[in-house]
């Protein structure tokens, strides 16, 4: 077997293992802590009978370990349980919201990735000069702002002052694509702003790192044109670190979505999660946590795999 | 009248430095250097670190590395001043008229491209010939440079060939466009001594056969003497002396050149054998999680007040032996006796006297001293730790030790970063000496230093040995150093001692194969040495 | 003495200003934290109310000053917790090694493979929300990052020859940790302290904004944004006031952290520790 196949399968196995371990962590987070699900649903003033009934209903009297495995095997088969608050099947309620969230994240990524790469290249090309300093300054500012602050600033300017977009991003299935895009324009802008800074900064660093290599000097001393140096010598070596940057930031985007959805009242996974945390609907929170963690881990593992695939030392072993 | 190929006049080179926490400012790296080179000849540029030799070499391509700028003078190549050329004309010059061979070929090749692609790249981009012709040229050069499988090596990636081979491929890359000048920037410095000689011979032959002119940059006068016609000696960015190689080696005019020529020619009389202070008996060791012995059945002795040199190339296990003796890597078998006591294998179980009497000095003085401690703390700590000295008493003793290593007052409150390379190593020696040891293990203590500074350290070590009667276990890859300092020698190869005995005996024939190879590979400061060695080796292999 | 760059001076000034205001909030704030001072809501800026009033007719400036106190208090304690825990465990793991190091490192890998916000939301869904719980959750989650950094820094230092030299001399663990390793690990850790504090500020603000952090009537800056967000739709920018404060605090601390890191990455002179 080619060593690279072995490495890649190791990564996939590691990813799966991590997701399983994460599920245990999430389950433990809601069970082992002093708070009791029944108590937190009913509040401090609940009668002992009511508590006992609810515990019975939720299966809390079974040992935690067996409840965990029931939950995990269910989740592996697509059964995420039922919500405490409305008794509906979680997987069904989640499906459309997950689709909405992915729709939002997809458009944010489509815009942010090329933009960040171009700006990162510009900053690297003019390293230490004014375009670089300008970009770094703006970056510092956006990194220091939480997502919801960026959200309200954008909303204040675009929806209130200029009335370009509606201030909330409600979407329905019956809307046309264009209507949907108009509705999500502001959250997309916010998400782009939020991930752009990180992605650009890291792209800049990755490219500068490659440009300072001795083989770039060799290429210069061969009398090659700058464009040739970049396309033939810098680019092939910059793919891996840059792809890594992109993947890490997409993972970051997944988290940014939670807050941005709340700001714009967008019917996605983030909103769903936050709502049910307030309602203390533990099964929904667990299910959402698991899905978010799986996506996050998946993207990180994907980044690793691309780095392995583009490494000449691994592709062409001795 | 031979034609002048390269004419450098009154060169001035400056750089902007950005010391952290200080304002950026300009410094002068090279000033007022003039030299010229005829077509087909080789000019050696020699000097210690900071002499500006690489910078001058790259000026022949009108190239400044990092923040380096050529700010004055003329560099005339093939009749035109290349400092006045625009970017486009410069690109036409680089990689076509002048090419470059770097010190680290491993870093200078693009890891993502096959060797052949990179070797013929400049030739193709400058439109000198077709791809198939260029590839044929490259294969011819690979063969000339003695690379294995010249037909197919081009399809490999840089990480798939060894360091010595990569250096030859880089030479082929430089020669492929048939330039009129090649700049060799320390091309053999990073290689082991036995690999160095082959690469050196290959480079020399290639230069002779192709009739190309070359600038050969190195810090090793013995090496440059083998390949050059003329030598330019540089120091701190200024010209010291220029002349034909014979005159520089045999009749140097300047004191500095004389010092460089006589480097490592310390006379050292071998002492008589004596009852050993350290006895290493059949020691075998391996690193955790590996399944081969880095040391196998090593037995050597060190006599009090004498020096045992452990010689070997990288991977010979010589530094591992030091780790085994100090207890950092407990041996899996064998016994180590020190001052009549058997040492426990693990450092943690040794007595305070065992620790005190066995000191160590490292190769990189930079990282051997805590950057946050002053010289006074560094040297004073063993005094405090082993002898309970405090306050004024300790400070007085530190000052005495500083005097012994020929560093005067005022150094006691300095930090390591404020010292030069040689001074740092001296402080490390003083720290070892402070413990009043019976044996000091010196691990490549001079290999990171410039030759003259290294010489000073060796002389100091010999003096201290005479004064204090301390024994040295001197680990090195450099045979010239060994000749200067050792009383007995152990030659190591792949974890085994292959030859061991008093110095004169080890250095007198008949030799085993490895010792012969090692000894004959050490560059000697005389003309024709390289040819002589290569010739002898050819005859030997023909005889076999 | 080296010159302090202007950006660092600005950062230092504002950081100090925020902290002093937080400490002396009771003396500085013109009105009470939850005191309703006006019959109308969202009054514009005036002489009596420099920042106007909020969604319930409370004095915005006072609310901001007390909010800052809450934000800074929670962030400081969470940072102190994450730092103490993370660096002690990180150094221990690096110097002891073996299975303790393995176990701690794998646990940290696991916790870090889930985004902190998600994990915090999961835990807060069953926990009673109080300031103490918030500090504990944030501090514990963030200690993983400090652990990784301090372990990496300590591992880098323990392989240095000067540490080996101290071992060969026979020095005990105490000298090695406190005299050889710690002085050299301090500067990257100090710079990290700033970044962790910023992270804590952003984190608590986000939680409070989501309604899962500080509970009314107490409010931190994130909570004040939440209280006043409805006004934005009518063009009332009250919610942007705390937003600006969060950003200003984060940027100031960032400027200071950048300076500390730049100043001490090189060990020249070594006196700057």
3-state secondary structure A31-63: HCCCCCHHHHHHCCCCCHHHHHHHHHHHCCCCC
B514 within 8 A of B491, measured Cβ to Cβ: yes
Structure tokens at B193: 């001594």
At residue C257, does pLDDT exceed 70? Answer: yes
Closest alpha carbon to C245 in C29, C55, C8, C60: C60
CB-based contact, C210 to chain A, within 8 Å? yes
Q: What is the mean pLDDT of chain C?
A: 86
Which of C97, C167, C169 to substitute to test the interface with B, most B CBs within 10 Å? C169
For B40, the 3-state DSSP assignment is coil
> What is the structure's pLDDT at C85?
94
Q: Which residue of A has its CA nearest to B183?
A: A221
Sheet containing B471-476, strands listed edge to edge, beginning at the edge strand earlier in sequence: B358-361, B439-443, B471-476, B307-311, B488-493, B496-502
User: With an 8 Å Cβ cutoff, are A153 and C243 in contact?
Assistant: yes
pLDDT for C18 beyond 60: yes
pLDDT higher than threshold 80 for residue C265 = no
Q: What angle do CA B409, B413, B419 make, to 5 degrees?
A: 80
Cα angle for residues A285, A289, A295 (degrees, 5° grid): 150
Question: What's the rounded mean pLDDT across residues B322-326?
Answer: 93
**pLDDT (tens digit, 9 = 90+) per residue, B369-428?**
999 899 999 999 999 999 999 989 999 999 999 999 988 778 898 999 888 888 999 999
Contact at 8 Å (CB) between B423 and B453? Answer: no
pLDDT recorded at residue A36: 63
State the pLDDT at residue A32: 60
The predicted structure's pLDDT at residue A245: 82
C4 touches chain A (CB under 8 A): no
- H-run or E-run covering B126: none
* pLDDT for A207: 86
Residue C42, CA distances (Å) to A217, B296, C45, C54, C231 in order: 62, 84, 9, 5, 8
pLDDT-derived band of residue A287, with 50, 70 and 90 as boundaries? Answer: very high
Is B328:C166 a contact under the CB 8 Å cutoff?
Answer: no
Which residue of chain B comes nearest to C171, CA vs CA?
Answer: B385
Reduced to 3 states (helix: H, G, I; strand: E, B; else coil), residue A82 is strand
Q: Which residues have a Cβ under 8 Å from the Cβ of B406 and sit 6 or more positions away?
A: B426, B460
User: In this structure, how many other beta carbons lie within 10 angstroms of the beta carbon of residue B296?
Assistant: 19
Inspect the interface and report whether the beta carbons of A213 and B107 lie closer than 8 Å: yes
Which of B54, B88, B90, B112 best tests the A interface by mutation, with the highest count of A CBs <10 A? B112
Q: Which of residues 50-79 of C touch A (CB under 8 A)?
A: none
Angle at B406 between CA B404 and CA B409, to 5 degrees: 95
B-chain residues within 8 Å CB-CB of A217? 65, 102, 108
Mean pLDDT rounded to a whole number for chain A: 85
> Does C113 contact A18 at a Cβ distance shorter than 8 Å?
yes
**How far apart, in Å, are the Cα atoms of B449 and each of A54, A235, B49, B425, B473?**
78, 38, 9, 9, 19
Q: Which of A31-35, C75-79, C253-257 has the lowest mean pLDDT?
A: A31-35
Residue in chain C nearest B346 by alpha carbon? C168
Prediction pTM value: 0.82
> Which member of C124, C202, C247 has the closest CB to residue A277?
C124
Nearest chain A residue to C199 by CA distance is A144
Return the H-helix or E-strand segment holding B233.
strand B230-235
Burial class (CB in 10 A: 0-12, 13-18, 19+), B275: exposed
What is the DSSP pairing of strand B25-38 with strand B4-17? Answer: antiparallel
Q: In chain B, count of helices (H) and strands (E)?
A: 22, 20
- Please give the average per-residue pLDDT across A194-209, as a whole number: 86
Q: And the tokens for A123?
A: 């900053």
Neighbours of B162 (CB within 10 A): 12
Least confident of A103-112, A123-132, C56-65: A123-132
Count residue pairs from B and C with Cβ separation < 8 A: 70
Span A219-241, average pLDDT? 88
Is the pLDDT assigned to residue A113 strictly greater than 70? yes
Neighbours of chain B (3+ CB pairs under 8 A): A, C
Give the confidence band of A109 by pLDDT, cuts at 50, 70, 90. Answer: very high
pLDDT for B486 beyond 60? yes
Count CB neighbours of B135 within 10 A: 18
CB neighbours (10 Å) of residue A110?
12
Domains within chain B, CATH numbers bracketed: 4-261 (3.40.50.300), 278-508 (3.40.50.300)
Beta bridge partners of B234: B239
Instruction: Collect all residues of chain A within an 8 Å Cβ-Cβ radius of residue C229.
Output: 152
Confidence band (pLDDT; 50, 70, 90) for B472?
very high
**Is the pLDDT confidence value at A220 over 80?**
yes
State the pLDDT confidence band at B533, using cuts at 50, 70 and 90.
confident
What confidence tens digit (pLDDT) does each residue in A139-177 have?
Answer: 777 777 888 888 888 888 888 888 888 878 888 878 888
Q: Is the confidence at residue A50, as pLDDT, over 90?
A: no
DSSP B43-79: EEEE--TTS-HHHHHHHTTT---TTEEEEEEEEEETT
The span from the CA of B34 to the CA of A286, in Å, is: 77
- pLDDT value for A103: 92
**Does any CB of chain B come closer than 8 Å to the CB of residue C1?**
no
Write the DSSP assignment of chain C as a string of letters: -PPPPHHHHHHHHHHHHHHHHHHTHHHH-SS-SS-B--SSSSPPP-SSSTT-B-TTSBBHHHHHHHHHHHHHHHHHHHHHHHHHHHHHHHHHHHHH-HHHHHHHHHHHHHHHTS-HHHHHHHHHTTS---HHHHHHHHHHHHHHHHHHHHHHHHHHHHTSHHHHHHHHHT--HHHIIIIIIHHHHHHHHHHHHHHHHHHHHHHHHHHHHTTSSSPTTS--HHHHHHHHHHHHHTT-GGGHHHHHHHHHHHHHHHHHHHHHHHHHHS-SSSTT-
User: Within an 8 Å CB–CB cutoff, is residue C235 touching chain A?
Assistant: yes
Chain A partners within 8 Å of C122 (Cβ): 26, 29-30, 285-286, 289
pLDDT > 70 in chain C, percent: 95
Nearest-CA distance B356 → chain C (Å): 7
Q: pLDDT (tens digit, 9 = 90+) per residue, B51-73?
A: 889 999 999 999 988 778 999 89
Mutation target among A129, A213, A215 for the B interface, most CBs of B within 10 A: A215
Helix (H), strand (E) at residue B414? none
Nearest to A25 among C114, C211, C234 (CB): C114
Q: How many CB atoms lie within 10 A of CB C234?
A: 8
Whether residue A3 has pLDDT greater than 50:
yes
Residue C129 has pLDDT above 90, yes or no: no
Range A169-173 contact pairs with CB under 8 angstroms and sequence separation of 24 or more? A169/A264, A169/A265, A169/A266, A170/A265, A170/A266, A170/A267, A171/A100, A171/A266, A171/A267, A173/A96
Of the candidates B482, B436, B505, B447, the one whose C-alpha atom is nearest the C-alpha of residue B307 is B482
User: Which of C162, C167, C171 lies at the smallest CB-CB distance from B367?
Assistant: C162
* Residue A33 in this model has a pLDDT that exceeds 70: no
CA distance A65 to chain C (A): 18
How far does Cα C49 stand from its chain's mean position? 30
* CB contact residues (below 8 A), chain B span 118-137, against chain A: 118, 121-122, 125-126
Above 80 in pLDDT, residue B543?
Answer: no
How far apart CA B136 and CA C25 sit, in angstroms, is 82
In 3D space, the residue among A230, A225, A223 whose CA is nearest the CA of residue A207 turns out to be A230
Of chain B, the percentage scoring pLDDT greater than 70 comes to 98
At B24, the pLDDT band (50, 70, 90 cuts) reads confident
> For position B198, what pLDDT does the model report?
87
Q: What gap in Å lies between CA B34 and CA B37, rounded to an integer?
A: 11
Q: Does A297 touch chain C (CB under 8 A)?
A: yes
- Region A228-243: mean pLDDT is 86
**pLDDT over 80 at C272, yes or no:** no
> In which band, very low, low, confident or very high, does the pLDDT at A121 lie, cut at 50, 70 and 90?
confident
- Which chains pack against A, by 3+ Cβ pairs within 8 A? B, C
What is the rounded CA–CA span in Å between residue B403 and residue B394?
A: 14
Query: Is 80 exceeded by the pLDDT of residue C133?
Result: yes
Q: CA B129 to CA B123: how far, in whole Å?
A: 7
- Quick: pLDDT tens for B229-238: 999 999 999 9
Return the pLDDT at A40. 65
Minimum Cα–Cα distance from A212: chain B residue: B66
* Alpha-carbon gap, residue A275 to A256, rounded angstroms: 16
Which tokens in the block code for residue B173? 């890359």
Q: What is the residue-wise DSSP string for B487-521?
A: SEEEEEETTEEEEEEEHHHHTSSSPPHHHHHHHHH
Per-residue confidence band for A41, with pLDDT thresholds at 50, 70 and 90:
low
Domains, in order of start, for chain A: 98-270 (1.10.3720.10)
According to the model, what pLDDT value does residue B142 have? Answer: 94
pLDDT in tens, B347-365: 889 999 999 999 999 998 8
CA distances from B194 to B203, B280, B300, B516 (A): 15, 28, 24, 10
Task: Find where tokens 């020859």 sit.
Answer: C161
pLDDT for residue A127: 76
Structural domains in chain C, CATH included, are 6-24+57-265 (1.10.3720.10)
Q: Is C272 on the interface with B (CB under 8 A)?
A: yes
What percentage of chain C exceeds 90 in pLDDT? 44
Does any CB of chain A come closer than 8 Å to the CB of residue C134?
A: no
Position C266 pLDDT exceeds 60 = no
Q: What pLDDT is recorded for position C269?
A: 35
Is there a contact between C263 and B418 if contact means CB atoms under 8 Å apart?
A: no
Q: What is the mean pLDDT of residues B434-438?
A: 95
| Helix, strand, coil fractions of chain B, as percent rounded to 5 | 40, 25, 35
A149 vs C contacts (CB less than 8 Å): 205, 225, 243, 246-247
Q: What is the DSSP letter of B94?
A: B
Interchain pair C262, B326: CB under 8 A: no
Q: Are B107 and A213 in contact (CB under 8 A)?
A: yes
Largest CA distance in chain B: 78
pLDDT at residue A278 above 50? yes
| C167 touches B: beta carbon within 8 Å | yes
A248-257, B17-26, B99-108, C72-81: segment of lowest average pLDDT: B17-26
Smallest CA–CA distance, residue C160 to chain B, in Å, is 6
Q: Which residue is closest to A318 within chain B, CA to CA?
A: B160
Own/partner contacts of B498-506, CB < 8 Å, gap of 24 or more, are B500/B300, B502/B270, B502/B273, B503/B270, B503/B309, B504/B270
């Amino acid at each position: 077997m080619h060593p690279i196949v072995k490495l890649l399968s190791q990564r996939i196995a590691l990813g799966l293992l991590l997701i399983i371990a994460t599920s245990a962590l999430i389950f433990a987070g809601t069970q082992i802590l002093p708070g009791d699900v029944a108590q937190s649903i009913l509040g401090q003033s609940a009668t002992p009978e009511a508590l006992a009934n609810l515990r019975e209903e939720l299966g809390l009297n079974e040992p935690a370990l067996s409840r965990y495995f029931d939950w995990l095997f269910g989740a592996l088969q697509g059964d995420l349980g039922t919500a405490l608050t409305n008794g509906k099947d979680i997987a069904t309620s989640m499906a459309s919201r997950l689709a909405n969230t992915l729709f939002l994240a997809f458009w944010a990524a489509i815009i942010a990735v090329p933009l960040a790469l171009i700006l990162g290249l510009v900053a690297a090309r003019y390293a230490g000069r004014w375009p670089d300093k300008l970009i770094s300054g703006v970056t510092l500012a956006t990194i220091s702002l939480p997502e919801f602050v960026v959200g309200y600033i954008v909303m204040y300017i675009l929806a209130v002052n200029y009335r370009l977009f509606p201030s909330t991003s409600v979407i329905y299935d019956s809307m046309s694509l264009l209507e949907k895009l108009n509705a999500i324009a502001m959250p997309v802008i916010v998400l782009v702003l939020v991930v752009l800074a990180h992605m650009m900064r890291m792209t800049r660093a990755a490219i500068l790192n490659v440009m300072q290599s001795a083989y770039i000097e060799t290429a210069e001393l061969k009398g090659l044109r700058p464009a040739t140096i970049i396309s033939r010598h810098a680019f092939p070596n910059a793919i891996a670190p840059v792809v890594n940057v992109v993947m890490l930031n997409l993972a970051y985007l997944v988290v940014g979505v939670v807050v941005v959805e709340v700001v714009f009242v967008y019917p996605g996974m983030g909103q769903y999660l936050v709502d049910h945390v307030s309602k203390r609907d533990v099964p929904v929170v667990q299910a959402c946590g698991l899905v978010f963690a799986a996506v996050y881990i998946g993207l990180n593992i994907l980044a690793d795999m691309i780095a392995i695939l583009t490494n000449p030392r691994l592709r062409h072993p001795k | 009248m031979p034609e002048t190929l390269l004419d450098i006049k009154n060169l001035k080179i400056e750089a902007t430095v950005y010391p952290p926490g200080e304002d950026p400012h300009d410094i002068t790296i090279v000033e007022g250097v003039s030299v010229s080179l005829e077509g087909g000849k080789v000019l050696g540029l020699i000097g210690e670190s900071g002499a500006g030799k690489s910078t001058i070499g790259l000026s022949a391509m009108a190239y400044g590395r990092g923040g380096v700028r050529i700010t004055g003078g003329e560099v005339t190549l093939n009749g035109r001043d290349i400092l006045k050329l625009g970017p486009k004309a410069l690109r036409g010059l680089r990689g076509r008229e002048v090419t470059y061979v770097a010190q680290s070929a491993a870093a200078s090749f693009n890891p993502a491209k096959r060797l052949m692609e990179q070797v013929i790249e400049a030739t193709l981009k400058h439109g000198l010939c077709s791809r198939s012709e260029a590839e044929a040229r490259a294969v011819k050069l690979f063969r000339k440079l003695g690379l294995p499988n010249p037909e197919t090596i081009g399809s490999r990636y840089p990480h798939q060939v060894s360091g010595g081979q990569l250096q030859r491929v880089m030479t082929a890359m430089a020669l492929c466009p048939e330039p009129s000048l090649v700049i060799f920037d320390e091309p053999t410095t990073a290689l082991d001594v036995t690999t160095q000689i082959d690469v050196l011979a290959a480079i020399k032959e290639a230069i002779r056969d192709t009739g190309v002119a070359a600038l050969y940059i190195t810090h090793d006068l013995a090496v440059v003497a083998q390949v050059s016609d003329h030598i330019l000696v540089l120091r701190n960015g200024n010209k010291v002396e220029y002349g034909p190689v014979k005159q520089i080696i045999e009749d140097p005019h300047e004191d500095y050149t004389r010092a460089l020529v006589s480097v490592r020619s310390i006379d050292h009389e071998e002492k008589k054998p004596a009852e050993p202070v350290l006895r290493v008996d059949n020691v075998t060791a391996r690193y955790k999680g590996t399944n081969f012995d880095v040391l196998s059945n090593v037995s050597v002795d060190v006599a009090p007040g004498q020096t045992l040199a452990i010689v070997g190339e990288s991977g010979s296990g010589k530094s591992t032996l030091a780790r085994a003796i100090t207890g950092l890597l407990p041996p899996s078998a064998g016994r180590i006796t020190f001052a009549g006591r058997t040492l426990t294998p693990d450092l943690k179980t040794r007595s305070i006297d065992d620790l005190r009497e066995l000191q160590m000095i490292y190769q990189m003085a930079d990282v051997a001293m805590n950057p946050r401690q002053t010289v006074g703390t560094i040297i004073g700590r063993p005094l405090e730790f082993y002898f309970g000295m405090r306050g004024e008493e300790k400070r007085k003793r530190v000052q005495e030790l500083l005097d012994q290593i020929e560093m005067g007052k005022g150094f006691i409150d300095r930090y390591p970063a404020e010292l030069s390379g040689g001074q740092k190593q001296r402080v490390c020696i003083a720290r070892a000496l402070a413990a009043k040891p019976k044996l000091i293990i010196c691990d490549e203590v001079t290999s990171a230093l410039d030759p003259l500074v290294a010489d000073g350290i060796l002389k100091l070590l010999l003096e201290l040995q005479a004064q204090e009667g301390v024994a040295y276990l001197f680990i090195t890859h450099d045979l010239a150093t060994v000749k200067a300092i050792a009383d007995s020698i152990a030659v190591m190869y792949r974890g085994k001692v292959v030859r061991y005995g008093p110095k004169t005996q080890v250095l007198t024939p008949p030799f085993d194969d490895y010792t012969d190879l090692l000894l004959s590979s050490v560059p000697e400061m005389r003309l024709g040495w390289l040819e002589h060695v290569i010739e002898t080796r050819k005859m030997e292999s023909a005889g076999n | 003495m080296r010159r302090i760059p202007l950006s660092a001076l600005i950062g230092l000034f504002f950081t100090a200003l925020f902290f002093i205001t937080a400490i002396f909030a009771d003396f500085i704030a013109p009105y009470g934290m939850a005191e309703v001072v006006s019959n109308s809501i969202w009054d514009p800026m005036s002489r009596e109310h420099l920042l106007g009033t909020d969604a319930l007719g409370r004095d915005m400036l006072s609310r901001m000053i007390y909010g800052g106190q809450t934000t800074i208090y929670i962030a400081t304690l969470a940072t102190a917790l994450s730092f103490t825990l993370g660096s002690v465990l990180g150094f221990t793991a690096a110097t002891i090694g073996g299975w303790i190091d393995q176990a701690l490192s794998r646990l940290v890998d696991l916790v870090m493979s889930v985004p902190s916000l998600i994990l915090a939301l999961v835990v807060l869904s069953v926990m009673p929300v109080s300031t103490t719980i918030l500090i504990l959750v944030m501090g514990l989650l963030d200690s993983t990052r400090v652990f990784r950094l301090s372990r990496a820094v300590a591992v880098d230092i323990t392989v240095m020859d000067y540490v080996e030299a101290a071992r060969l001399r026979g020095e005990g663990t105490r000298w090695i940790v406190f005299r050889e390793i710690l002085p050299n690990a301090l500067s990257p850790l100090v710079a990290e302290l700033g970044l962790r504090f910023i992270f804590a500020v952003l984190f608590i603000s986000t939680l409070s904004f989501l309604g899962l952090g500080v509970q009314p009537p107490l409010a931190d800056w994130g909570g004040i944004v939440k209280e006043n967000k409805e006004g934005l739709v009518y063009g009332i920018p009250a919610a942007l006031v705390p937003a600006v404060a969060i950003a200003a605090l984060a940027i100031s601390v960032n400027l200071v952290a950048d300076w500390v890191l730049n100043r001490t990455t090189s060990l020249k002179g070594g006196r700057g520790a």
